[in-house]
Copies of this chain bind each other. A is one copy, B any other.
Amino acid sequence: MFTIGAFARLGLVSVRMLRHYDAVGLLQPARVDAATGYRFYEADQLATLNRVIALKDLGFTLEQVGTILDEKVSVEELHGMLRLRRTELAARIAADSAALTQVEARLRTIEREGRMHPDEIVTKQVAAVRVAELTGVAQSYGPQHIGPVVQPLYQQLMCALAEAGVTPVGHAIAYYEDTPDGIGVHAAVPVDVEPGGDGPFAIVDLPAIEAATAIHRGPMDDVLGTLDATARWIEENGYRTTGLHREVYLDTTGADQSDWVTEIQEPIVRA
């Protein structure tokens, strides 16, 4: 017979934990003194305590530990619980590993440059979206070539949508592709219509992507700086890009672009 303190030392747990396991019915003392309420444990209850600890260390809740210990689960159910746990553990390890990579990238930045780097870049799961779009071609990727192409496209697109009685359901999205003739420029806007109508605009489903996103403030002519910073972040954090970026125009109310706010979405995968 052990007192709760001696038993706790043996099992390398706290006295409070043993009291808690008693309270929730997981592990009750072999004997409780009626007069004083003192708990007494048998040596072989250490085996039960070890089972509790082992299952708890796998990440099961105390309630799950209880049902497993009481043999209230069949082998099939236990199998299912273990597979679920495997999935959850793998997901958490992946998330923690990504976080660790980022922490190390920030440490390197600080040690190298003596300052912290801007941390407004974040990964997102961008959902698939149906858009109406017009396309054009630009000579190069430089803002000075893109702007004169994309802006007229949007004016035509809005006009055509209005004529077709189609209402945008989200923010304008520009995206790009390499073509033999130059940069394919897509001026798109989310819509909620069935595809197949042959208007002047095309209905396209943009696929869901994982993206590194940054908020760009100011004129689109300055977007290269934001794209650079995003590209550096992608490299330092163990990703690589899988295509050209998208631009989501969040705020285009300012007349001269100086108050514009754009979200840059750079498609990525783990390198």
Contacts and interface: CB of A to CB of B under 8 A. Distances in A.
A86 to B, nearest CB: 5
A85 B263 CA distance: 29
Interface stretch (A116-124, A136-144, A159-167): A116-124
Contact of A46 (B46, B51, B103, B215): B215
Contacts of A115: 75
A19 B64 CA distance: 33
Contacts of A85: 99, 103
A54 interface: yes
Given A100-B86, A107-B86, A46 B79 contact: no
A173 to B, nearest CB: 13
Number of copies: 2
A251 B53 contact: no
A207 interface: no
Interface string A70-100: 0000010011001101100110110111111
A47 B215 contact: yes
Interface stretch (A55-63, A191-199, A239-247): A55-63
A269 interface: no
Given A47-B120, A93-B97, A261-B46, A110 B75 contact: yes
Interface in A201-221: 213-215, 217
A83 to B, nearest CB: 7
